[in-house]
């Protein structure tokens, strides 16, 4: 149709915020999406665990992974016309969770890591103070740092640009904005 602009979902830039729990991911997603005047996709696991409880099993992690990608697709459709979608968590997080807790990972999650495409990763460091939450499992700095290094190793060994995000909340947002400008929006 002449004069109608059709949205190409491949044009929507996807920024994924990952890292251990209690590293400011959701806050950064909210702040960055506000700065970019766009949407952010929350972490599906929070809603799932609040509904079903913390006594989760290995099969539950596959349900959570599927729910995360369904939620991401819903938000991507709603972000039509926006420059980017900020995403709290992806399949790398699900892979780390599966392997850290159960020493195994669902093949479907690995397949989705290979299939899904993202434009930028923001890896949140462990330098924020721990915030207690009914869903958090690893308050000790040793496990948080171990998880951070697992994520960092993943980032180093994949092809998508990534930036380490550290500092206080303002510094984190500035680093995220700068990285977004450098790698995504070319501002």
Q: How do residues 23-59 score in pLDDT, each as one tens digit? A: 889 999 999 999 999 999 999 998 999 899 889 999 9
Q: How do residues 104-123 score in pLDDT, each as one tens digit? A: 999 999 999 999 999 999 99
pTM, entire model = 0.89
Q: What is the pLDDT of residue 136?
A: 53
Return the CATH fold of 9-185: Rossmann fold (3.40.50)
What residues does each domain of the chain span?
9-185
* Per-position DSSP letters for 34-85, written without gaps between them: HHHT-EEEPPHHHHHHHHH-S---HHHHHHHHHHHHHHHHHHHHHTTTSSEE
Mean pLDDT of the chain: 89
Question: The tokens of 10 are what?
Answer: 């491949």
């Amino acid at each position: 149709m002449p004069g109608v602009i059709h949205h190409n979902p491949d044009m929507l830039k996807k920024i994924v915020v990952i890292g251990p729990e209690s590293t400011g991911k959701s806050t950064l997603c909210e702040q960055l999406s506000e700065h970019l005047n766009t949407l952010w996709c929350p972490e599906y696991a929070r809603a799932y665990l609040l509904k079903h409880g913390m006594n989760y099993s290995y099969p539950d992690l596959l349900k959570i992974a599927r729910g995360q990608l369904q939620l991401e697709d819903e938000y991507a459709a709603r972000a039509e016309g926006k420059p980017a979608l900020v995403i709290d968590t992806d399949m790398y997080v699900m892979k780390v969770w599966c392997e850290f807790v159960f020493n195994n990972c669902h093949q479907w999650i690995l397949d989705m890591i290979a299939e899904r495409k993202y434009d930028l990763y923001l890896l949140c460091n462990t330098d924020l103070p721990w915030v207690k939450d009914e869903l958090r499992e690893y308050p000790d700095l040793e496990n948080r740092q171990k998880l951070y290094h697992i994520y960092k190793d993943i980032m180093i060994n994949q092809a998508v640009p990534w930036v380490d995000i550290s500092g206080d909340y303002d510094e984190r947002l500035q680093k995220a904005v700068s990285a977004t400008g450098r790698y995504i929006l070319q501002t």
